[in-house]
Structure formats: structure tokens, C-alpha cells
């Protein structure tokens, strides 16, 4: 199924089109949604920090206005990116997830990290260039693994204090320099819950714009050890039987997909699809 949202480099010097307004993973919206006539927005005296072309939503060109700070606009309200993940349609969430990552990158790369000079956009590509020392920066991606640990008809799920009340999820962690993703799976599981895993199976990936992760999803089998919590990261972790699962992450997340896929395979049900 084709997507209405297609990212592409667009020249922000061109007039017209539609725009989304972003600041610190919040988007401006009104009763009609988050897309506003771009030229109308520019007449609202917004504290624009950066402007980037994003791509096309259907046939319409879409641009990003990254603000220095959130400001009030009559008839509009700010809404967090996670709310669009939970309640918005898939194409809109993908567009806003991309916009959020580009906005974060633009905010964090206004000045060269090597010499401190102002950075400039490179025409024709998604890159920032330092004219003083020639350093270039591209949008950041932070690779991370996410894994469902299984033991027959049981799955190992954990919760962080950051989770909504009662929700348990899969284990996850960032890949360190010089480390393979598979090594990261083994290390993070050992560190967070104290058990060993084997028979790793890579399944799928998902861009995770909170703020700029690429989640690489695995199933792994329990190989030994007792649960010992990494208390600064994990509030609780338990083995759950497939017929008595706790509250789970939202359907659109890769963590939920890993759980639902294992349940389907174990019980002989139709396999789910990873959203968008």
C-alpha cells in the first residue's frame, strides 16, 4: 500500500506550499489538523529558528518551520508527537516523526561543533556545511535494539518509571561504538534484567522519532539466569504467560508488534503487520 507521505529535499527558498510548525517535539494544530498555508504562517510573526523543505503529502509540498520557543497562535494548540502516534493516522505520524527529527537536527546544528562558526544548508541535499572548516553534518540516527525475550509460552517484559501506569514492554537499548547489534542485545538484556539469551532472530526495524532512533527488532530465547533488576533503568520485570499478559505498549509501536507476533506464532493465529 503506497503512502500519502513521501519525504524529499525541497528548496525552502521557493514560495507556497503547506507547513508544519514544530518545537521540542510539539506541533501546532487547529481544528483542520497540523498543515497550514505556509505563507499565512510567515505573516504570524513566529520566532522561526530554521525552515526546511520536508517532502510531499499527496501532491502538496510540505515545509517545516522550527521555532525558537512555542508561542500562542489564536485558534491553535500545541500537541505532543506521542499523541499523534496514539491517535493520528499512520501517514500523518510518519510525516510528523520525520519533521520532528529534521527540526531537532536543525536546532542542534546551527553552529559548527568543531570551530563554532554558523552552519549553512547545502543546496540539493539534507546536510549542513561549515564554510569555515568544511565540516558537514547530516541528520542524526541513533541505532538501538529492541528485543522480546521468550521462554516457551512465557515472555519477559519490564517496565520503566517513564511508562504509563501498569504498562510492561520489551527491553531496549542503544548500540555502543564498535558493537554489533547482536552483541548489544546480549549486553543490554544482561545489564537490565540479569539473564542470558540465545538464538537471536532479527525481525524488522522501525524509525522511532523520540528523538532520532532506528529501532532494530529481535526475538531471543532465554538461556539462563535469574531476574536481577538494573534499578536505575528498570522498575519491575517479570515472566508473563501468553494467556495472562499485562497492559502493553500501543499498537503502532515495534515493541507491541514483537509481542503480538510471538503470540500469533505460538498460538497459530494470523501474524500481525508492523504499522507504517
pLDDT confidence bin for 1, thresholds 50/70/90: very low
- The gap between the terminal CA atoms of the chain, to the nearest Å, is 10
The fraction of the chain above a pLDDT of 90, given in percent, is 92
Across residues 198-222, what is the average pLDDT?
96
**Average pLDDT for residues 9-18, to the nearest whole number?**
94
Domain definitions of the chain by residue range = 5-108, 142-267
Helix (H) or strand (E) holding 266: helix 254-267
What topology does CATH give the domain 142-267? Nucleoside Triphosphate Pyrophosphohydrolase (3.90.79)
Q: Do domains 5-108 and 142-267 have the same CATH topology?
A: yes
Question: Tens digits of per-residue pLDDT, 134-191?
Answer: 999 999 999 999 999 999 999 999 999 889 899 999 999 999 999 999 999 999 999 9
What is residue 275's predicted lDDT score, i.e. its pLDDT? 67
**CA-to-CA distance for 133 and 115, rounded, in angstroms?**
7
Looking at the predicted structure, is the pLDDT value of residue 226 above 50? yes
Asked whether the predicted pLDDT for residue 203 surpasses 90, the reply is yes
Hey, what CATH class is 5-108 in?
A: alpha beta
Residue 68 vs residues 16, 23, 47: alpha-carbon distances, Å: 22, 7, 6
- Predicted pLDDT at 2: 53
In the chain, what percentage of residues exceed pLDDT 70? 99
pLDDT tens sequence across 105-127:
999 999 999 999 999 999 899 99
Q: Which three cell numbers stand for residue 120?
A: 549553512
Rounded Cα distance, 114 and 116, in Å: 6
Per-residue cell: 241? 504467560
pLDDT tens profile 67-106 = 999 999 999 999 999 999 988 888 999 999 999 999 999 9
Number of Cβ within a 10 Å radius of residue 139: 16
Q: Which three cell numbers stand for residue 130?
A: 561549515
Residue 3 has a pLDDT of: 77
Q: 8 pLDDT band (50/70/90 cuts)?
A: very high
- What pLDDT does residue 88 have? 83
Average pLDDT over residues 236-261: 96
Amino acid at each position: 500500500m503506497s503512502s500519502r507521505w513521501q519525504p524529499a529535499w525541497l528548496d525552502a527558498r521557493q514560495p507556497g506550499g503547506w507547513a508544519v510548525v514544530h518545537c521540542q517535539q510539539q506541533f501546532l494544530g487547529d481544528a483542520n489538523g497540523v498543515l497550514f498555508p505556509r505563507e499565512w504562517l510567515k505573516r504570524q510573526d513566529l520566532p522561526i529558528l530554521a525552515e526546511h523543505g520536508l517532502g510531499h503529502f499527496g501532491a502538496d509540498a510540505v515545509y517545516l518551520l522550527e521555532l525558537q520557543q512555542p508561542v500562542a497562535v489564536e485558534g491553535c494548540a500545541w500537541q505532543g508527537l506521542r499523541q499523534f502516534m496514539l491517535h493520528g493516522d499512520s501517514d500523518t505520524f510518519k510525516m510528523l516523526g520525520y519533521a520532528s527529527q529534521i527540526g531537532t537536527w536543525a536546532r542542534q546544528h546551527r553552529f559548527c561543533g568543531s570551530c563554532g562558526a554558523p552552519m549553512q544548508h547545502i543546496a540539493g541535499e539534507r546536510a549542513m556545511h561549515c564554510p569555515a572548516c568544511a565540516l558537514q553534518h547530516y541528520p542524526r540516527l541513533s541505532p538501538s535494539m529492541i528485543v522480546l525475550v521468550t521462554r516457551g509460552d512465557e515472555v519477559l517484559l519490564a517496565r520503566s518509571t517513564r511508562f504509563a501506569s501498569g504498562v510492561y514492554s520489551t527491553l531496549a537499548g542503544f548500540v555502543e561504538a564498535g558493537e554489533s547489534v547482536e552483541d548489544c542485545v546480549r549486553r543490554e538484556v544482561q545489564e537490565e534484567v540479569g539473564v542470558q539469551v540465545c538464538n537471536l532472530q532479527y525481525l524488522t526495524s522501525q524509525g522511532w522519532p523520540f528523538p532520532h532512533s532506528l529501532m532494530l527488532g529481535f526475538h531471543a530465547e532465554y538461556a539462563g539466569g535469574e531476574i536481577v533488576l538494573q534499578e536505575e533503568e528498570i522498575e519491575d520485570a517479570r515472566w508473563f504467560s501468553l494467556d495472562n499478559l499485562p497492559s502493553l505498549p500501543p499498537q503502532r509501536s515495534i515493541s507491541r508488534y514483537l509481542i503480538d507476533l510471538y503470540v500469533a506464532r505460538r498460538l497459530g493465529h494470523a501474524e500481525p503487520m508492523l504499522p507504517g
